[in-house]
Structure 1
Amino acid sequence: MDLFDSPGTFTSIPIEDGALALMARLPLPYANEDILARLIAETPWRQESIVLFGKSHLQPRLTAWYGDASYSYSGLRLDPLPWTPLLAEIRAAVETACGLHFNSVLLNYYRDERDSMGMHSDDEPELGPDPAIASLSYGATRGFVLRHKRNKRTVKLDLHDGSLLLMSGSLQSNWLHGINKSTRAIGERLNLTFRYVV
């Protein structure tokens, strides 16, 4: 059976030292393109500077942080915006699908193929041990790359419009993940990563 014939159901992806599952399409009562357009239009996007290896760099994408708690990574502190009705509805659907509670979401807006996300782990102390991260995608398909921290094995997944990826177990302790730039033209993509900040 093709994974994308079964929207609303998680399919486990075999991976060592962690847990990974993909849902072809998160059930919501709106068209994906409408959700994408509304989120792009309604979000107060920022291009933050982060510190890597002692140097400050502008992130190669736009971001926004919503939720109930502040969050810090790469020398950057994010204070949350209040949940909008649309984000609260999406969060409820993600929580129902995953059977988990999330109190924050990071929105990443990839404007085209030149925007990217460097290899990293979501392993900040305020996420607690073995955090569950639910990653919801809208818009253009982008390749998602995972690389094991010790044996350097890589796993590559295409994250399609409306798909929901759940990373859990010890995945963040053992793997890095990111989105590479591309040499071919790619349209805009929006990614929402739901998490629970302790």
Structure 2
Amino acid sequence: MLAAMTPAPLILPAPHPLLNCWRLLDAAAAEQLFHALCAGIPWTDGSYLAAGRRFRLPRQQAWFSDAGIDYRYAQNLLNSHGWTPPLAALREQVAQLTGHRFNAVLANLYRDGEDHVGWHADDEADLGPAPVIASLSLGATRAFHWRPKPGVAGAAASLPLEAGTLLLMRAPFQQQWEHAVPAEPDIAGARLNLTFRRVFPQP
């Protein structure tokens, strides 16, 4: 599957001082990987419990990691899966390109333009004091938005992430900025996003 990857990832213009962007996959390889992962990943049902009530998560998720590395959303433990061969190969490619090693990946499936993720920062304690996250986009193009946290200088902006684009969020992006992928109702196609992370289990 990865044999069709672009031989030399193309460096794209830096949209923010703490972001790096590459064209990791050409169109054909990105489409092939998108369909394979959509069919092969055991997606959650897109809901979670909080304060005794069930809420719909506006996307579907799956978590793959080294043994013992867990992931929680709204205090709900997400089922963890071992690395599949395609995801393990991608992890190695991403590590070689970015210079960062990752022990987990969160897969998000935005089934259409209504699915989204609101403003947040990936700054949980189990990601360590200076999280670095690599995000690979597949499927439909969606806009990645960012804005400074209170007291941080800078302006809000956005970047359309096309299929095959790898975005690296370097430290201290998570400490200083929030990001979101808002709903875009006019988009009919699905988007699959893989966010590679390094998790430090808490005692």
Q: What TM-score bracket applies, with the shorter chain setting the length? A: 0.7 to 0.9
In structure 1, what is the equivalent of residue 14 of structure 2?
13
Secondary structure of the corresponding residue to residue 31 of structure 1:
helix
- Describe the superposition over 1:31-65 as per-residue Cα deviations: whole angstroms up to 9, x where unpaired: 2111001000001100131649x965211011000
TM-score relative to the length of structure 2: 0.84
Q: Offset of 1:15 from its aligned partner? A: 3.4
The root-mean-square deviation of aligned C-alpha atoms, in Å, is 2.3
User: Which amino acid counterpart does residue 36 of structure 2 have in structure 1?
Assistant: R
Residue 14 of structure 2 aligns with an amino acid whose one-letter code is I
User: 1:160 and 1:133, CA in 2 relative to 1: closer, same or farther beyond 3 A?
Assistant: same
Letter in structure 2 aligned against 1:100: H
**CA spacing shift, 1:111–1:43, aligned 2, 3 Å:** same
- The aligned amino acid for 1:8 is P
Match of 2:60 in 1: 62
Correspondence 1:122 to 2:130 = no
Structure 1 stretches (4+) deviating beyond 4 angstroms?
none
1:14-43 per-position Cα deviation (integer Å, ceiling 9, x unaligned): 536xx11111x2158x72111001000001
- The one-letter code sitting in structure 2 at the alignment partner of 1:161 is A
Q: 1:130: how far off? A: 1.4
Q: Does the CA contact (< 8 Å) of 2:47 and 2:54 recur in 1?
A: no
Give the conservation status (yes or no) of the 8 Å contact 1:116–1:181: yes
How many residues align structurally? Answer: 188
Extract unaligned runs of 5+ from structure 2: 1-7
Q: Is the 8 A contact 1:61 1:111 kept in 2?
A: yes
2: CA distance, partners of 1:10 / 1:157: 15
In 2, are the aligned partners of 1:134 and 1:195 still within 8 Å (CA)?
yes
Instruction: Give the letter aligned to residue 189 of structure 1.
Output: R
CA contact (8 A) 1:50 1:59 kept: no
Name the structure 2 match of 1:3: none
Verify the 8 A CA contact 1:136 1:164 in the aligned structure 2. yes
Q: Match of 2:160?
A: 158
Pick the aligned partner of 1:189 from 183, 188, 191. 191
Q: Kindly provide the amino acid, as one letter, of the partner of residue 168 in structure 1.
A: R
